[in-house]
Structure 1
């Protein structure tokens, strides 16, 4: 065969994704077209053949191929499984009707005179990547035909991507066929093709079980990669990330992200068994092809091939081997490849699927575990039909529906609102469900088309929102009806704006969080997929994207009803699955004491908000701008030229290229690394320029993230800032704050503390800050049972000075501050699994010396090492660790074959018991604060929670009475569930602003 050359046009077809696409498209067609007379399923093969003929005859997107490669996955046991055994481990078995069609696809390729390409140990994507690079290097034009986004990383000069998954014309979701070049990939991913693996490493892929980083979607991932350049630079500079939740998540999942990048990166250099030049499009042998098509009983395409190639099909016999009574047919019906001595890998271990409830044999098991299993099985098998939902557009219908809710005692509720911010949101519609499949939608706020044209009037066929709220109120306020929702807090906040309290509720997001924190996503879409086998109508599909995006109150009522009622229905079904699991897995107490009661507490805090001094922030912003300008001038003078201080590349070229400073290292992209720790090391060595760069970065971050941004969050009605708290955001139970994030304001530097000065008490009030002192160290002494540390806390000794005395033999009295500082770094570092390298950097000492400190620490406090070893062993055996209150935090990767990933999970598990227990304690305190204040007739309001600190707004005349109440509740929070031997200490102060109170 002739070598690949310029002018050749290479089609690389991802046969594996094509097969599934053809199957699911065939399921939308009449059943009679999807099976042969003997029952052999053939619908996917038929559509596959139609597309192959199109490629050979007409090409695609205006290109006709000279070479056509149809590439399949031979097995899932590829080199990626060696790197990560869980890769694709959660993929469901293929549909039963598709299994016998796999070998038929290969027969179809051969019938067209082509070679089905597959290779053991590699996926189709890898082979496509190798072919694409070979062809592009030879100057050929390459079109990758696939719906797999992983292959978009291969787009480059000469290589484009054809997205064939364009839907069915006339149906929702249809879009014209697209050929993606570099700009198209950037539009889809937000980054160029070569950085697609970095983005995918962050977002992961649940379909392939690529872990990624929890909570990071494609938009956030692309922003991070564009900002930091690549994955390694991002992970090296996580300390610069302003959002604490995001920073913590990235730090905790750094190794998982690195592993994910290995799993998603395609290599041009694999050796392919079938040479690309062998895949030239041949002259089609019409008679051979017709023999195959007639054996499959494909009438329409048989006639088309007969007409195109002027061959009388009646004179061609069906392939006897594949005909209904042929030698290969029995094997195909059994799901066995007739060309193989073994079953396909996808079916070899697949158990027979139960078809009826009787087959499940669960009815007789009345234990909590049996009920949970029965509910899970029933939910999986039940169909969800959006067409069955009703729209309630008159009061009588609503009354009848609500009466049935009263009778049934259960009501699932989902609000559709005009804004994601519950403080400004208006109700557009209310979805209600009272039994699986029995759901309705009550429209109340849909607009009549575009507001500018319609004047903002309401669309017809709706009920007045006040009337609906009034009719709902008795149901929401009664304890006799359980209200169910997913992430109920925003809805509770919206309803509170209408004067409604929700009594007796369950939140399935929080139940899922209690049951599966660390091993499952808790979003409604993910839960529906995992536990119901159902794909929900996506929010993006409802409102559209880009220019086509429509506000929720302008959505057609029928479409909104399908989306919202489905959410209420799915939520109710999931509640029926999850609720018995709480009992079966002994997690009811955790949910009912730590999670559910906190929802109204946080809603009340969010509605209260906190006042800020905008004038002070404006002055600070001006001061920061002046500081930045001054530092910019100093940097320009030190560097001998001006450059973009926000450009890591320009900075690296100055530091390590022009100035030849030591310690330079390059990232995977070839650029100099300028992450914070690199600059800190240079500054510690006495180099002034890196020190000034760090100062500029710090001030720039304070200005952009806080002094400039905070005033934009002030609510027009309350004139206060209202943050939003997430309960199910971290594995350990810590809350996170967003819009704005008030948990990440830096307070170690004077500039950072100035930001807290702008959070102020209104006239006649004070802000009170109540902060747990060294709570995680105290819990370490308690849980690890370290007598020396425990006694020190009981005696009120300076714990860091005591540690320094124990380790270095220095008297506590008049101890040098640098010695205490070293002990403090070790004390806190041990909690987070600090390494000798990390401690060396923190203390600016040699790694050997740091290692000696850590070794000596464990020798002086042996209980801590025992605690760590016991925690790791328990987590390896059970897959989770637990707080002192029983909250489970799962770390399924603790037994990973990858050493770095395994070590990361071990460190996380050790820290989780401490951080999680601390988080539980402050949750218990928050839940008890309001009843204690009410009992003391005090009117203080709890405004903020920042890790181990609570912030209150208190009338001047009540400060002295409030402080001891808050302090007592917080210090006694573990009781009566747990009686700690190590006392908790809370420092509480009042002042006019947050900084002075802290």
Structure 2
């Protein structure tokens, strides 16, 4: 199954105990215990083989006590000591995991759960789908739209709906659920005789733990007496069962990339623990010709080109080839500063060469002159009739542009061939080589080292550098010869690849190199203003409090709020003090108390300053004075573009302070910014795909679709619809697209689940075509195991027929959402191509500088701005022919916020 989880977090301590109790007590010939160790290693290997994550963290509990023991000295006091034959397996297991190249974390004073909770929360905030492998029910509280649990021993999967199905409460109420039941294994106090059904029932009736406490007198019988007898312990239970999500770590999710294994160390360990299966896994990986780290001599003929005669020979071969693979080696990943170190090419499978141009280390052999080689290559690389193939050629295009070479004739990109065939999973060359060629390539870390000791490519000796670079070109050519026939076999995919994805390569390279101008002075001013506002909030808070205090000190905040101001506490800490958690402060602010609101505002502005106004200026290129993001075509499963360094999709817009950041994205002098944004594109696509008569009519008449929806399901005239009713209709419109349940809608609107379900039912009564479309899509997805966009892009659904109901339901929700999201992605890509074609054809003083969500941003000379409106609008609105009009809203301004 192709992975849907770029990050996997492993509860290794849980693995260890489960393996110890489930497997035989094995020993080696020296009498050393090995059963649990071998069990964990096999479980890890199976997990990794099944999902092939980009990032993985293997997390163990640290020895000794943690902060929960400080809160409650009897925490886990009843647990028997760890068996000695289990304890002696921990260090060898950790040594082997490190040799496997897997990031291993052991953080003192917290539990593995807290480390996992912190990393999963950070990953979710960064949009990374995360799989937590654990058998611990406590971790159900971490489940969300981007966090899933799997118990590999039972093949039990838990997404948000799965948590509700299993426990009877949603993930955000799991802590309350556990607090009421307590945990005898961890010695966490709870309500005597309160089992899972009772805990779920109480939470369902009273909302949460606080509601249960408030209504304790209303609960009858012995269990009610038991509840009332332990009310003072429940806050402690909540503290003990709440997983921390803010552990101070030296690394984040993106730092958990696995590294190449240390095979010799692994061989030594596997021999010591006498595991023939693990030893055989090393032999399979290293001795199979098709899967070797270094291809056999019969398989390859790689040249290291150091003489003019050899280079001339290769130029003749390139000029005579119908298609050749091309790659560059550089000093950096940042295309704006990367220096060209060498080039490689392949003309036939196994026949490749590397031309070193700028290796710099003591004793390096003489290399050909870089300027002379590039001058010779330039006509070939710029010839549109000389066809090239590469892996992620956008990067090579951008690097060559720094040397005044406009690469043309780019016929194929293996990264995009793979992505269009099946968007789920990774599309880097090493992964594709293993997947499609059953070949382990030489990794960059194998020749450059890793971590702080990693050297740049220009420092790598020519022989290993030459083999690595030539192999890149060779494998790229082989991948193309494997992937392209598969694409051709499905004409709609081949057309999507040829007409949409490939033309975007050059366009995106040009947009990236153009960048967007940043007003660093304005950002500095905003940082200063934020500092002043933060200081003013602090002063105001001190005035409201009647004295100075540390706004980061819960103890001081509690003393002022509850002792000095007499505010009634909402919750208590485990030690009995009134809680000042963020949730508590928000509730107090909602009650009208001034000081909690000031503290929350202070925290929000401090985060905005550190994350955006202080950081963005550091990303400005010193040479251009502009920010240059990187757009990624082969990441989002739906076909959407993503961006990084900086992530333009995440520029905040929900608050006034956040929107002000867009003021710092400005036009060059003499120019203005034009922002062209599709209006409600996914709802229009829903109308087109569903064919619902009322939706089609509303869009065709140009109605406000949310007001029209409210009028339909409430049986009102549109002018009678209130703002609140329109907001509810908007939540339904967009919620249905994203698979929102009645429970989720109820939470968003602050209404009962029954009222939300009634709203959904009325919606489907008035828009039966939408319901029919959803049912048809589900049925077809179960049959085909994929869904398609309007333009033939496929999203495969490997779990659409899974035996696990929650996983199957998640796949069904994706099946409904993906055609709309994917079609919107296709349309904005087609729009970029159409607008760029207008620019290249008519040569107006205009250039695309950003693509964010459904919006294009252009920088246009002031005297051409008005003449540009209509061509841009026409290009974008004709990017697709739908049953309803595509509408583009255009704004113009000196900065992004003003134009948007």
Q: TM-score, with normalisation over the residues of structure 1?
A: 0.64
Of the candidates 227, 250, 254, which is equivalent to residue 147 of structure 2?
254
Deviates more, 1:193-202 or 1:420-429: 193-202
Secondary structure class of the residue paired with 1:626:
helix
Cα distance change on mapping 1:757 and 1:256 into 2, 3 Å: same
CA contact (8 A) 1:201 1:264 kept: no
Secondary structure class of the residue paired with 2:800:
helix
Q: Which residue of 2 aligns with 1:980?
A: 882
C-alpha deviation, 1:234, in angstroms = 6.5
Q: Which residue of 2 aligns with 1:744?
A: 650
Of the candidates 509, 519, 528, which is equivalent to residue 603 of structure 1?
509
Of the candidates 385, 389, 410, which is equivalent to residue 323 of structure 2?
410
Of the candidates 489, 492, 500, which is equivalent to residue 397 of structure 2?
492
Q: Which residue of 2 aligns with 1:68?
A: 33
CA contact (8 A) 1:963 1:989 kept: no
The alignment status of 1:960 with 2:871, answered yes or no, reads no
- Mark the runs of 5 or more structure 1 residues left unpaired by the alignment: 1-11, 17-48, 57-64, 93-124, 126-132, 152-160, 168-172, 174-179, 205-210, 223-229, 237-250, 270-336, 338-343, 348-352, 354-376, 450-457
Q: Separation in 1 of the partners of 2:84 and 2:867?
A: 81
CA contact (8 A) 1:613 1:758 kept: yes
Q: Which residue of 2 aligns with 1:991?
A: 893
C-alpha deviation, 1:528, in angstroms = 1.5
C-alpha deviation, 1:621, in angstroms = 0.8
Q: Separation in 2 of the partners of 1:581 and 1:766?
A: 45
Of the candidates 456, 461, 465, which is equivalent to residue 560 of structure 1?
465
Secondary structure class of the residue paired with 1:433:
strand
Q: Separation in 1 of the partners of 2:689 and 2:703?
A: 19
Q: Deviation string for 1:959-996 (max 9, x for gaps)?
A: 1110100000000011xxxx311000001121111111
Q: Separation in 2 of the partners of 1:137 and 1:190?
A: 18
C-alpha deviation, 1:511, in angstroms = 0.7
- Mark the runs of 5 or more structure 2 residues left unpaired by the alignment: 1-14, 20-25, 53-59, 61-77, 159-182, 186-275
Q: Deviation string for 1:660-691 (max 9, x for gaps)?
A: 7658999xxxx999688x87677556565664
C-alpha deviation, 1:885, in angstroms = 0.3
Q: Which residue of 1 aligns with 2:388?
A: 483
Secondary structure class of the residue paired with 2:759:
helix
Matches within 5 A, 1:340-351: none
C-alpha deviation, 1:467, in angstroms = 1.7
C-alpha deviation, 1:497, in angstroms = 1.6
Q: Separation in 1 of the partners of 2:49 and 2:430?
A: 20
Secondary structure class of the residue paired with 1:491:
helix
Q: Which residue of 2 aligns with 1:246?
A: none
Cα distance change on mapping 1:75 and 1:993 into 2, 3 Å: closer
Cα distance change on mapping 1:77 and 1:423 into 2, 3 Å: closer
Cα distance change on mapping 1:853 and 1:217 into 2, 3 Å: closer
Q: Separation in 2 of the partners of 1:743 and 1:463?
A: 43
Q: Separation in 1 of the partners of 2:761 and 2:752?
A: 14
Matches within 5 A, 1:424-463: 424-449=337-362, 459-463=364-368
Cα distance change on mapping 1:973 and 1:190 into 2, 3 Å: farther
Secondary structure class of the residue paired with 1:895:
coil
Secondary structure class of the residue paired with 1:892:
coil
Q: Deviation string for 1:857-913 (max 9, x for gaps)?
A: 111112112222222222222221111000001221233333333322222221111
The alignment status of 1:393 with 2:306, answered yes or no, reads yes
Q: Deviation string for 1:747-801 (max 9, x for gaps)?
A: 2321111111111112111100101011111111111111111111111111111
Secondary structure class of the residue paired with 2:328:
strand
Secondary structure class of the residue paired with 2:88:
strand
Q: Which residue of 2 aligns with 1:142?
A: 87
CA contact (8 A) 2:291 2:434 kept: no
Q: Separation in 2 of the partners of 1:190 and 1:399?
A: 64
C-alpha deviation, 1:694, in angstroms = 4.6
The alignment status of 1:909 with 2:842, answered yes or no, reads no
C-alpha deviation, 1:139, in angstroms = 6.8
C-alpha deviation, 1:392, in angstroms = 0.8
C-alpha deviation, 1:445, in angstroms = 1.6
The alignment status of 1:163 with 2:106, answered yes or no, reads no
Cα distance change on mapping 1:532 and 1:881 into 2, 3 Å: same
C-alpha deviation, 1:199, in angstroms = 8.5
Of the candidates 430, 445, 456, which is equivalent to residue 551 of structure 1?
456
Q: Deviation string for 1:496-530 (max 9, x for gaps)?
A: 12121222221111110000112x32121211221
Of the candidates 628, 631, 640, which is equivalent to residue 534 of structure 2?
628
Cα distance change on mapping 1:647 and 1:855 into 2, 3 Å: farther
- Work out the number of aligned pairs and report it: 730
Q: Deviation string for 1:903-944 (max 9, x for gaps)?
A: 222222211111110110010010111221344441210100
Q: Separation in 2 of the partners of 1:187 and 1:461?
A: 48
Secondary structure class of the residue paired with 2:719:
coil
CA contact (8 A) 2:802 2:808 kept: yes
Q: Which residue of 2 aligns with 1:384?
A: 295
Of the candidates 455, 475, 478, which is equivalent to residue 570 of structure 1?
475
CA contact (8 A) 1:200 1:260 kept: no
Q: Which residue of 2 aligns with 1:833?
A: 739
Q: Separation in 1 of the partners of 2:609 and 2:407?
A: 40
Q: Separation in 1 of the partners of 2:705 and 2:614?
A: 39
Of the candidates 838, 863, 872, which is equivalent to residue 932 of structure 1?
838
Of the candidates 571, 578, 588, which is equivalent to residue 494 of structure 2?
588
Q: Separation in 2 of the partners of 1:262 and 1:656?
A: 48
Cα distance change on mapping 1:261 and 1:380 into 2, 3 Å: same
Of the candidates 600, 606, 625, which is equivalent to residue 700 of structure 1?
606
Secondary structure class of the residue paired with 1:597:
helix
Deviates more, 1:628-637 or 1:941-950: 628-637
Q: Separation in 2 of the partners of 1:188 and 1:531?
A: 39
CA contact (8 A) 1:255 1:901 kept: no
Secondary structure class of the residue paired with 2:472:
helix
C-alpha deviation, 1:403, in angstroms = 1.6
CA contact (8 A) 1:611 1:720 kept: yes
Q: Separation in 2 of the partners of 1:819 and 1:948?
A: 26
Secondary structure class of the residue paired with 2:607:
helix
Q: Which residue of 2 aligns with 1:119?
A: none
CA contact (8 A) 2:433 2:441 kept: yes
C-alpha deviation, 1:379, in angstroms = 7.8
Matches within 5 A, 1:721-760: 721-760=627-666
Q: Which residue of 1 aligns with 2:271?
A: none
Q: Separation in 2 of the partners of 1:627 and 1:900?
A: 47
Q: Separation in 2 of the partners of 1:608 and 1:547?
A: 32
The alignment status of 1:949 with 2:894, answered yes or no, reads no
User: Which has more radius of gyration?
Assistant: 1
CA contact (8 A) 2:795 2:818 kept: yes
CA contact (8 A) 1:803 1:823 kept: yes
C-alpha deviation, 1:412, in angstroms = 1.4
CA contact (8 A) 1:389 1:438 kept: yes
Q: Separation in 2 of the partners of 1:868 and 1:996?
A: 39
The alignment status of 1:786 with 2:692, answered yes or no, reads yes
Matches within 5 A, 1:639-654: none
CA contact (8 A) 1:793 1:982 kept: yes
Secondary structure class of the residue paired with 1:894:
coil
Cα distance change on mapping 1:849 and 1:795 into 2, 3 Å: same
